[in-house]
Amino acid sequence: MKMQKVYSTIKPYVATSVMLLTMTSMNVNAIEKSIEQTNAVTSYQEADGNGKQDKKMKKRFHRLAKKLALTSEQRSKVKAILANIKTKHQESKGSLAGFKDQVRSLMKTGEFDENNFTAIYMEYQPVFQQNAMARAKVQHQIMQVLTPEQQEKFLTMKAHRKDLR
């Protein structure tokens, strides 16, 4: 009888404690989820909206490093080269936006004007040339980091990739 009386007095306190713990854990989970979402949004914004492109480039780098069996020193050098070109690419991206806008407006017209397109293309020719030069420099810098065996494998991988296009 005494035991039943003790249980009946403790029961409301235990029930209240369990409810409070449940609500607290739910609140903590909700806070963690909102923090994760905020971090995801922030990381996406830091990538300048190129989240997919960044993931794609990282995946390609890891595949390249794995297939060429790059050492940790080679990996760090190649990463530095790619980071440098990424900043330069961001700078030249603004100049290409004008070209894309002009071509889009040309595509919206009733008939395609070859002379107008040629004029637009010739106007941006120096930018295209600079971008091609930058890509060639990057490949040259990467080749200088690789051993002769890795260079051969890199060139065959590059040729295979061109064949797939």
Tens of pLDDT, residues 37-47: 555 444 444 44
**75-82, long-range: CB within 8 Å, 24+ apart, which pairs?**
77/145, 78/142, 78/145, 81/138, 81/141, 81/142, 81/145, 82/57, 82/138
Can you give the residue ranges of every domain in the chain?
1-46, 50-164
Tens of pLDDT, residues 113-137: 899 999 999 998 998 898 889 889 9
Multiple choice CATH, 50-164, 1.20.120.1490, 3.30.360.10, 3.60.140.10, 1.10.357.10? 1.20.120.1490
Low-confidence ranges of the chain (pLDDT < 70): 1-8, 14, 18, 20-21, 25-50, 164-165
Q: Are 157 and 67 in contact (CB under 8 A)?
A: yes
Q: How much is the pTM?
A: 0.57
Q: How confident is the model at residue 99, as a pLDDT?
A: 87
